[in-house]
Structure 1
Amino acid sequence: MSTEVYDQTNEVRDTLFSSLGNVDPDVIGHMINPAFMGGPQWPSLRQAFSIIRTNKSIKVASNGLSDPFEDMAEPNNGFRLEVIAETAEKLEADIYNTWLFKLVYAISQQAAHSSQIADFVATHGVITMELYAEDCGLEEFQNKNGMVGVILGVESPDMPKTVNFPAEEITLVTVQILTPDELDYVAEKRAEGRKHIHELLQKKGVYHRIELNRKSVLENGSSKWKLWEKS
């Protein structure tokens, strides 16, 4: 791993996060790295998360998925992404114990395990996945199987989707929670459903910003799917 690229990556990422709000001086990390306990390994082993605040919202972002791989000589930016979620909901002072942190942590670990999420978002625009409700602290969004759906990569007018880093272009992967009927819709319609949900999130001005009491963008649920498709 190039020390120069690593240092430059930290500088560019710090600048990016600072452009999105006031960044807490301390990152959230682990006393024992999850990679040492059977979890996926991040590019430079370092696993951290940044807290970004504005007067209207709070964001949690992964900080390390775009680090250069420590065992690769060629210039690179790791998995070429960072994960970010934003909400205006009131959270506990200890962000580490909140659903927002747990959500970003769960997706970040999936990104490290898969290593292909940046490619999937680049190819498809948005992607969806399911998480165990207990892992992200969002039991109120779970379906009958105890899963919570999320859509990744929702484009927003106040959040860049791609950013040039020292070695590669990285994707800032936004996270939006799907309501249970939106998840059912995506499961049935697949690529068409993902595209339609993405369009509705943008059309209604929801974008990536998470609201725990958000109504489904499908309005009246699955019984109205065909009506939405005709509109």
Structure 2
Amino acid sequence: MAKRYFELDEDMSSEEVLYWTPEDDRPDKLGQYRAVYGMRIDTSKVGDARIFRTKGYPRALLVAEEVKEALERTGATGLKFTEVTGPSPISDEERAYKRRCNELLDPPPAARRAAWKSFGKLDELAVAPRAICYEWPGHRQDWAIIHREAGRLLLVSEGLSDPFISRLEPSVGFGLELALETEQTELPLDAIEGSWPYILLERVAKELVAQENVRERAEAGLLALEVAATGMPATLVSTEGRVGVLLGLESGTLPKHFPTPFGDVRLVTVKALLPAELEYVLKRGTEGMDELARRFAKTGEEHVSRASRQAVV
């Protein structure tokens, strides 16, 4: 039987159609259909075909109603039939909303990935935790791993700079993304979620998302924070049972900002402090943070985090 292919009616009736984009790193599929939800076909182009597929999306096998009924009469199992003709499953307003969401949420990841690749080798295989998080601007919480010089790894947040999807307008969301660089031994790629660098960065992200004043200070310059110590190495835990971090340390190998289609985004470095360094900052405030930054710079590893190292105070 000859294969027959017909056009997909994505513009008029299908609920949602996703395409392969440059960020998917599949140049062989660029611009082609990646997924189709609530498929609808243009029946005027089908003619007398009874079994066929759609152009550009051959994974779905379409059959005429009489073929469906004949298969059901045979008692065939393992088949699932879904209507692909008739009224669209969603309204024009819902479709317009989804398309607008895609227009806003599709460009930022590509821009971020371009930035990540300029920092080192982006790990396409590492499985970092991702989640739907309504507190994040685009409701998507993701992370990426970048292989850096001297075998170190850079863990970065993905999504804090998404546009606020609730507003349906271009923006850089919270205007920043977080970055924590550490040794491979500290961040095992087969157990990212349970590693202390990931736990620490996620807790810092929660603080930033929840508190506007914290975000503003992080965007402006240096900021010291304390977070819960559960799951942290004992060497980082203070006598009060907290872990300190210093945000916004400048780096000779990382930019302060990177571009996206909707504006520049601040890259905020996160460095884990040893208890003595945290105490130093708590006693001296801004002056203490500035002095720590100078001392870290002298070590040549301004923003790099380690669970075991010599304190600079």
Root-mean-square deviation over aligned CA pairs: 2.0
Could you say which residue in structure 1 is the equivalent of 2:105?
6
Matches within 5 A, 1:155-194: 155-194=250-289
Residue 118 (structure 1) shift: 4.4
Counterpart code for 1:21: G
1:130 aligned onto 2:230? no
Name the CA distance, whole Å, in 1 between partners of 2:139 and 2:102: 14
> Helix, strand or coil for the counterpart of 1:209?
coil
Could you say which residue in structure 1 is the equivalent of 2:217?
120
> Helix, strand or coil for the counterpart of 1:58?
strand
> Helix, strand or coil for the counterpart of 2:146?
strand
> Helix, strand or coil for the counterpart of 1:9?
helix
Identity of aligned residues (%): 30
Which has more helix, going by share of residues? 1
Could you say which residue in structure 2 is the equivalent of 1:228?
none
Of 2, 14, 18 in structure 1, the residue corresponding to residue 117 of structure 2 is: 18
Residue 88 (structure 1) shift: 1.9
Could you say which residue in structure 2 is the equivalent of 1:29?
129
Of 134, 139, 142 in structure 2, the residue corresponding to residue 45 of structure 1 is: 139
Name the CA distance, whole Å, in 2 between partners of 1:89 and 1:142: 21
Name the CA distance, whole Å, in 2 between partners of 1:191 and 1:68: 32
Residue 212 (structure 1) shift: 2.0
Could you say which residue in structure 1 is the equivalent of 2:158?
63
Larger radius of gyration: 2
Runs of 5+ in structure 2 lacking a partner? 1-99
Name the CA distance, whole Å, in 2 between partners of 1:119 and 1:86: 22
Name the CA distance, whole Å, in 2 between partners of 1:116 and 1:4: 30
Counterpart code for 2:227: L
Residue 89 (structure 1) shift: 4.4
Alignment deviations for residues 140-181 of structure 1 (CA, whole Å, 9 cap, x no partner): 211111001100011111011112222222111111111111
Runs of 5+ in structure 1 lacking a partner? 36-40, 219-231
Counterpart code for 2:203: A
Name the CA distance, whole Å, in 1 between partners of 2:204 and 2:263: 21
